[in-house]
A and B are shown apart, each in its own frame.
Chain A
Amino acid sequence: MNDRLIVIGGSSGSLDPVMKILGLLRPGFSIPIIIIMHRGADSDDSLAQVLQSRTKLVVKDAEEKESTRPGFVYTAPADYHVLVENDHSLSLDVSEKVNYSRPSIDVTFESAALVYREKLTCIILSGANADGASASAYAEEMGANIIVQDPVTAGVSFMPERALAVLKNANVLGVEKIAEWLNGL
Chain B
Amino acid sequence: MTGNFRLEQEELEELLNLLVEKYGYDFTLYSRASLYRRIMSAAVRGKFSDFTSLKLRLVTDPAYFYNFVEEITVNVTEMFRDPQFYKMLREKIIPILATYPLIRIWHAGCSTGEEVYSMAILLKEAGLLHKSILYATDLNQSVIESARSGIFNIGTMQRNSENYIASGGKADFSTYYRANYNLVKFDESLSARMVFSMHNLVSDASFNEFQLIMCRNVLIYFEKPLQSKVLELFDKSMDTLGFLALGSKESLKFSTIAHLYSAVDAKEKIWRRKK
Residues of A at the B interface (CB closer than 8 Å) are: 63-65, 77, 80-81, 83-86, 91-96, 107, 110-111, 114-115, 134-135, 137-138, 141
Contacts and interface: CB of A to CB of B under 8 A. Distances in A.
A84 B32 CA distance: 9
Contacts of A80: 249
B179 to A, nearest CB: 25
A94 B217 contact: yes
A93 B34 contact: yes
B33 A84 contact: yes
B65 to A, nearest CB: 20
A63 B32 contact: no
Nearest to A108: B33
B229 interface: no
B256 to A, nearest CB: 15
Interface residues of B, number: 20
Contacts of A64: 220, 249-250
A114 B37 CA distance: 10
B177 interface: no
Nearest to B40: A110
Nearest to A106: B1
Contact of A111 (B37, B220, B223, B249): B37
Given A91-B31, A91-B33, A110 B1 contact: yes
A32 to B, nearest CB: 16
B224 interface: yes
A134 B1 CA distance: 7
Nearest to A97: B76
A173 B46 CA distance: 40
Interface of B: 1-2, 9, 31-34, 36-38, 74, 76, 217, 220-221, 223-224, 247, 249-250
Contacts of A115: 33
20 contacts: A65-B223, A65-B224, A80-B249, A83-B31, A83-B37, A84-B33, A85-B32, A85-B33, A91-B31, A91-B34, A93-B37, A94-B74, A94-B76, A94-B220, A95-B34, A110-B37, A111-B33, A111-B36, A111-B37, A138-B2
Contacts of B250: 64
Contacts of A77: 249
A94 B9 CA distance: 23
A93 B1 contact: no
A91 B221 CA distance: 8
A179 to B, nearest CB: 29
A146 to B, nearest CB: 14
B2 A92 contact: no
Contacts of B31: 65, 83, 85, 91
Give me the 8 closest cross-chain CB pairs, A-B, nearest first: A83-B33, A95-B74, A93-B34, A111-B33, A91-B31, A64-B220, A92-B220, A85-B33
